[in-house]
């Protein structure tokens, strides 16, 4: 009877210990050439083996490919092995598998779960009888949980020895919680008591014990077992227990010194006090009878056991002497054969002391030497008899060996013949093996392809956007994809196995669906794109396109129905909206006061509104495509089409004027605007254009262009005349200023001569001479100012890098006398270096400093401060006259003089404008006009700020570099 009781991760605590402690330690000793080998005997349907493989995969992680893993899983049941190889389990079989492991190591197929290919590849399943078939070897771990509880003591000892043989020197054995190694403690030592994990002892001698005999036929086995079960019980349990107690008591006190040995003379059991006859031998521990026997007994014990094994009759020998602490001791030995159910021969050896000590023997010897001689003669005779028997046996053995040798020679000849036949068979086997390997490789490739197909189909099934469900022949849902659960808000546990009409509180009990599944499918095997409209609770109305197909599996002949459900609710709503929008657009376009057309991606116009058709007087069929081109004026047609095609290819908007034939036969100017049209996803859809008549506007525009052209010519002639007049005026002012200096110098010369005769002239005449001198000096200053102003107006563009600090310091030399007379203080800060005309910068600062000294308060020493700073972008934005692309510096010249009225702050920069009495503050009113002219020549601005009698500040803003077009 085979018992299949197993689950995934059956003992979580023990497996956790393996994962965290035992297996990582074993894996540290492994590499690419040294694989990890594990044996799982009695694996049933493979859950325990797969559990170990999953744990190893989790431990190794990404390193799983670097260490070869071989897990051998065996069982007596070929049906269980076949299911394990398939690796397909139900949801109930995986109750102990966590969701994370389920997702990583399993693939869902038709409501069941298949173990992943990576796990399946490292587990090898095979039918195997652990008691009779040869075991595996060089193993690192044997996991045999909950098997030994079904075995008797003999089989337990046998299977433990087999595991000891299979494991390598550092191998481990795992048993179930209710199991132990029993009497095999010399083979294993316990590592972890809680989890029943044992390590192999390397100093223990063991061998795998397995039978190579044939199994009994099933009928004989059942009769044999039946006979054993029907043996009558001799006594009742209470009476048998009482007798056992009495026997145990008597045996414990009166049993002689006895040992049980096997045919190799290994001691299996001790009875009574044997220390008088046996003692441990020095060196390696051993239970061999001959090594433990005291001196004088080893030869006799070997001879006695040999006789008993040969004759299967009891043997007893007395008068043997051994040395004890008290002297010599006479003993006797008796060897009895012991019946055994196995083929192994067992013997019971009984030791007996004949005398208490040797003193009595010595006294007896003195009186009975004859008896001693007789006893020795008897022993010698016995030895001769034994020797004769041994010689006869030796001769018989020699004859048997001679006969065996002849048989061996004959057998050797037969073996040579057989060997030749085997060589031939070997070649045939090798050829067959190669064919099998080729077939096996092809089968493995097909299995891998099949696994990939399963994975691909599963991935497609879960990835497609359409809802798909699989029904069995009874219309019950076997499985559904993720899209179905998402669209219809269903859950897997309440869906699979349910009749489709009962799904969702019978929401799917739709007459149209019943008709398709119960009538169309049986008759036609499939249907495509059948539309149904239904209202689902909690979801609302849905418009569905159903497609179904009947599938009959070739292997199991199972009938299935594949039902694809496409939710087209949003598509229907969008289509209705598009239709409504299209109708609205056509209605709007037909009622628009402008002509509208639409072209597709191939430049063919496929729509003209009513306004276009009424304007041209043509039908829609005559206009669509390229028909509209015939209405374009022949002189404008090529230009119109070239522009239309060029912008269409570049997908750019355009505006085009051309003449179009109106319905009354007249060509009228129209203006056409075309724009590319793109869909919501950015794909080019064509062009949309509109046209308006601009004939009257075009005619008026042509007339205006003629008028503008004539007026432009008149302005150009006037501008040339003005430039000529301006040039003549500048030349006149320059020449006049130079021509006025000659008579003025003569007046000043004659006035100076009159000054030398001033004392001889009357008082009135002296006053006239003084006035002539003063007027001459004023006239000189006026002419100089006019010359300077004229030079500034000409602007010879001599810009160079100019340091304003140097300009100001050089000018102050000219004002030394005035500064000392008025005790003036001039504070000069750090001034910038600019791209400027040095001479004009000297004139600018000369006039401003001169004015600051001139218009000072009579009782207050003048204080003049000259500073500068760079303007920020925000400050520069306040001055619209300046260019934002340039960097500017602001220079401030402030004084504490008489100041000016704020309302005249702009007027003072006009030529010949004066605000003060000429007698008190002499001047011609040209200096500040000259300053503004200089600043304008440098693309800057100048302005003044004053609070009346508190002084005046002049602000000069100049660019660091001049514009390129200056």
Residue 24 has pLDDT above 60, yes or no: yes
pTM, two decimals, is 0.36
pLDDT digits (tens, 9 = 90+) for 559-592: 888 888 888 888 888 888 878 877 777 777 778 8
Q: Tokens standing for 237?
A: 């349990």
Strand boundaries in 600-678, DSSP class E = 605-608, 654-661, 667-678
- What does R_g of the chain's alpha carbons equal in angstroms? 64
Is residue 923 classed as helix, strand or coil in its secondary structure?
coil
Q: Which residue has the higher pLDDT, 83 or 327?
A: 83
pLDDT digits (tens, 9 = 90+) for 147-167: 888 888 888 888 998 999 899
Query: Cα separation of 733 and 739, whole Å?
Result: 10
Q: What is the mean pLDDT of residues 382-388?
A: 73
Local confidence band at 265 (pLDDT 50, 70, 90 cut-offs): confident
CB 478 within 8 A of CB 559: no
Sign of CA dihedral 483, 484, 490, 494: negative
What digits encode the pLDDT tens for the residues 791-843? 554 455 578 999 999 988 888 887 888 888 888 999 999 999 999 988 888 88
Confidence of residue 923 (pLDDT cuts 50, 70, 90): low
Q: What is the DSSP string of 355-403?
A: -S-SHHHHHHHHH-HHHHHHHHHHHHHHHHHHHHHHHHHHHHHHHHHHH
Q: Give the per-residue pLDDT at 227.
A: 35
What pLDDT sits at residue 734?
61
- The pLDDT confidence band at residue 65, using thresholds 50, 70 and 90, is confident
For residue 686, what are the β-bridge partners? 677
Q: Are 562 and 464 in contact (CB under 8 A)?
A: no
The pLDDT score that the predictor gives to residue 72 is 93
| pLDDT score, position 234 | 40
Residue 944 CB-density burial (10 A; 0-12 exposed, 13-18 middle, 19+ buried):
buried
The answer, yes or no, to whether residue 291 has pLDDT greater than 60, is yes
- Tell me if 335 sits within 8 A of 308, measured CB to CB: yes
Query: Span 719-736, mean pLDDT?
Result: 68
The most confident of 28-42, 283-297, 346-360, 516-530, by mean pLDDT? 28-42
Task: Compute the distance between CA of residue 938 and CA of residue 961 in angstroms, rounded to an integer.
Answer: 9
* Average pLDDT of the chain, as a whole number: 81
Strand partners, 320: 331
Residue 217 reports pLDDT greater than 50: no
DSSP assignment letter at 871 = P
Q: What residues are paired with 260 via a beta bridge? A: 269, 348
For residue 228, name the pLDDT band (cuts at 50, 70, 90).
very low
What's the confidence (pLDDT) of residue 186?
Answer: 82
At 220 the pLDDT is: 39
Sign of the torsion formed by the C-alpha atoms of 305, 311, 316 and 320: negative
Give the number of other CB atoms < 10 A from CB of residue 365.
12
Q: For the purposes of burial, counting CB atoms within 10 Å of the CB of 863, is it exposed (0-12), middle (13-18) or buried (19 or more)?
A: middle
The pLDDT tens digits for 426-483 are 777 777 777 788 887 788 788 778 777 777 777 777 778 888 888 888 888 888 888 8
Question: Tokens 């598009």 sit at which residue?
Answer: 578
Strand order in the sheet with 559-567: 477-480, 467-471, 559-567, 540-552, 526-536
CA atoms within 13 A on the CB side of 640: 19
Cα→Cα distances 327→109, 257, 330, Å: 85, 20, 10
> Rounded to the nearest 10 degrees, what angle do helices 838-854 and 763-794 cross at?
140
Q: Are strands 540-552 and 106-109 parallel, antiparallel or unpaired?
A: unpaired
pLDDT value, residue 866: 93
Give DSSP secondary structure letters for 764-799. HHHHHHHHHHHHHHHHHHHHHHHHHHHHHHH-----
For residues 573-607, one letter each, b for 16 or more C-beta atoms within 10 angstroms of the residue's C-beta and e for the rest, the string is eeeeeeeeeeeeeeeebeeeebbbbbbeeeeebeb
Beta strands in 462-604 (DSSP E): 467-471, 477-480, 526-536, 540-552, 559-567, 595-599
Distance between CA atoms of 910 and 944, rounded to whole angstroms?
13
- Which is more confident, 334 or 788? 334
Phi and psi at residue 149, in whole multiples of 5°?
-70, -15
* E strands in 222-278: 257-262, 267-271
- 734: how many CB neighbours lie within 10 A of its CB? 16
- With a pLDDT cut of 90, the percent of the chain lying above it is 17
Kindly tell me if the per-residue pLDDT of 224 is higher than 50: no
| Residue-level pLDDT at 233 | 39
Q: Which residues pair with 836 in a beta bridge?
A: 800
> Does 328 have pLDDT greater than 60?
yes
The whole-number pLDDT of residue 732 equals 60
Q: What pLDDT is recorded for position 541?
A: 84
What pLDDT score does 436 carry? Answer: 81
Mean of the pLDDT values across residues 62-71?
A: 86
Phi and psi torsions of 128, nearest 5°: -165, 135
Please answer whether residues 957 and 882 qualify as being in contact, where contact means their C-beta atoms are separated by less than 8 angstroms. yes
Burial classification of residue 333, based on how many CB atoms lie within 10 Å of its CB (0-12 exposed, 13-18 middle, 19 or more buried): buried
pLDDT tens readout for residues 757-798 = 767 777 777 777 776 766 666 566 556 655 555 555 445 557
CA distance 24 to 142: 16
913 — pLDDT class (breaks 50, 70, 90): low
């Amino acid at each position: 009877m085979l018992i299949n009781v197993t689950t995934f991760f059956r003992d979580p605590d023990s497996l956790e210990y393996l994962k965290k402690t035992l297996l990582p330690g074993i894996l540290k000793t492994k590499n690419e050439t040294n694989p990890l080998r594990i044996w799982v005997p009695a694996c049933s349907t493979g859950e325990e083996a797969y559990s170990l493989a999953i744990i190893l995969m989790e431990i190794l992680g990404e390193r799983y490919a670097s260490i070869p893993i071989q897990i051998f899983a065996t069982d007596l049941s070929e049906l269980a092995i076949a299911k394990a190889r398939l690796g397909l389990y139900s949801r109930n079989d995986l109750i102990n598998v966590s969701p994370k492991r389920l997702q990583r190591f399993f693939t869902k197929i038709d409501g069941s779960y298949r173990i992943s290919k990576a796990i399946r590849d490292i587990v090898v399943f095979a039918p195997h009888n652990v008691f009779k078939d040869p075991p595996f070897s060089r193993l690192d771990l044997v996991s045999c949980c909950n098997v030994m509880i079904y075995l008797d003591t003999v089989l337990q000892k046998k299977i433990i020895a087999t595991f000891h043989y299979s494991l390598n020197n550092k191998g481990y054995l795992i048993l179930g919680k209710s199991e132990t190694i029993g009497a095999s403690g010399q083979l294993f030592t316990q590592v972890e008591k809680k989890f029943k994990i044992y390590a192999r002892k390397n100093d223990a001698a063991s061998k795998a014990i397995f039978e190579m005999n044939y199994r009994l036929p099933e009928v004989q086995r059942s009769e044999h077992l039946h006979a054993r079960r029907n043996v009558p019980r001799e006594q009742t349990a209470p009476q048998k227990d009482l007798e056992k107690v009495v026997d145990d008591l008597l045996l414990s006190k009166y049993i002689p010194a006895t040992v049980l040995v096997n045919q190799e003379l290994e001691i299996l059991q001790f009875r009574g006090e044997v220390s008088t006859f046996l003692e441990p031998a020095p060196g390696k521990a051993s239970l061999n009878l001959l090594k433990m026997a005291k001196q004088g007994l080893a030869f006799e014990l070997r001879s006695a056991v040999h006789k008993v094994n040969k004759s299967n009759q009891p043997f007893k020998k007395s008068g043997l002497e051994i040395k004890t602490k008290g002297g010599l001791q006479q003993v006797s030995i008796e060897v009895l054969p012991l019946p055994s159910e196995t083929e192994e021969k067992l013997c019971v050896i009984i030791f007996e002391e004949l005398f208490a000590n040797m003193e009595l023997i010595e006294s007896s010897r003195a009186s009975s030497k004859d008896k001693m001689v007789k006893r020795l003669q008897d022993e010698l005779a016995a030895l001769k008899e034994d020797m004769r028997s041994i010689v006869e046996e030796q001769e018989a053995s020699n004859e048997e060996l001679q006969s065996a040798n002849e048989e061996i020679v004959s057998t050797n000849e037969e073996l040579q013949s057989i060997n030749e036949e085997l060589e031939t068979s070997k070649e045939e086997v090798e050829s067959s093996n190669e064919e099998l390997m080729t077939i096996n490789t092809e089968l493995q490739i097909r299995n891998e392809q099949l696994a990939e197909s399963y994975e691909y189909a599963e991935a497609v099934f879960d990835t497609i956007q359409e809802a798909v469900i699989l029904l069995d022949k009874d219309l019950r849902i076997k499985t559904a994809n993720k899209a179905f659960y998402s669209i219809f808000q269903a859950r897997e546990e309440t869906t699979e196995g349910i009749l489709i009409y009962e799904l969702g509180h019978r929401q799917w009990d739709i007459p149209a669906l019943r008709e398709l599944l119960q009538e169309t499918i049986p008759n036609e095997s499939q249907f495509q794109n059948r539309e149904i409209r239904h209202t689902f609770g909690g979801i609302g109305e849905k418009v569905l396109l159903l497609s179904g197909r009947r599938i009959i599996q070739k292997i199991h002949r199972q009938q299935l129905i594949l039902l694809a459900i496409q939710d087209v609710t949003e598509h229907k709503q969008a289509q209705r909206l598009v239709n409504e929008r299209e109708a609205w657009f056509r209605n709007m376009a037909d009622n628009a006061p402008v002509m509208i057309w639409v072209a597709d991606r191939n430049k063919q116009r496929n729509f003209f509104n009513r306004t276009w058709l009424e304007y041209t007087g043509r039908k829609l069929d005559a206009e669509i495509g390229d028909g509209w081109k015939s209405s374009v004026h022949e002189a404008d047609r090529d230009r119109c089409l070239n522009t239309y095609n060029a912008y269409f290819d570049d997908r750019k908007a355009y505006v085009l004027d051309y003449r179009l034939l109106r319905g009354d036969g007249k060509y009228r100017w129209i203006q056409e605007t075309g724009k590319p049209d793109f869909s919501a996803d950015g794909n080019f859809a064509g062009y949309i254009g509109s046209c308006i008549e601009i004939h009257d506007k075009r005619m008026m525009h042509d007339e205006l262009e003629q008028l503008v052209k004539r007026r432009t010519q008149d302005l150009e002639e006037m501008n040339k005349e003005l430039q000529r007049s301006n040039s003549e005026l500048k030349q006149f002012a320059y020449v006049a200023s130079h021509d006025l200096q000659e008579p003025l110098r003569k007046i000043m010369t004659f006035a100076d001569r009159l000054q030398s005769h001033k004392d001889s002239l009357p008082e009135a005449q002296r006053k006239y001479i003084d006035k002539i001198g003063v007027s001459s000096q004023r006239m000189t200053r006026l002419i100089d100012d006019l010359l300077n102003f004229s030079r500034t107006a000409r602007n010879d563009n001599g810009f160079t890098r100019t340091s304003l600090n140097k300009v100001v310091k050089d000018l102050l030399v000219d004002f030394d006398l005035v500064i000392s007379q008025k005790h003036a203080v001039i504070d000069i800060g750090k001034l910038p270096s600019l791209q400027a005309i040095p001479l004009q910068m000297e004139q600018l600062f000369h006039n401003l400093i001169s004015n600051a000294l001139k218009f000072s308060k009579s009782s207050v020493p003048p204080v003049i401060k000259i500073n500068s700073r760079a303007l920020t972008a925000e400050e520069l934005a306040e001055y619209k006259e300046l260019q934002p692309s340039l960097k500017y510096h602001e220079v401030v010249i402030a004084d504490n003089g008489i100041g000016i009225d704020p309302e005249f702050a702009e007027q003072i920069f006009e030529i010949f404008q004066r605000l003060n009495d000429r007698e008190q503050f002499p001047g011609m009113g040209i200096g500040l006009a000259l300053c503004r002219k200089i600043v304008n020549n440098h693309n800057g601005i100048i302005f003044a700020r004053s609070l009346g009698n508190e002084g005046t500040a002049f602000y000069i803003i100049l660019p660091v570099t001049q514009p390129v077009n200056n």
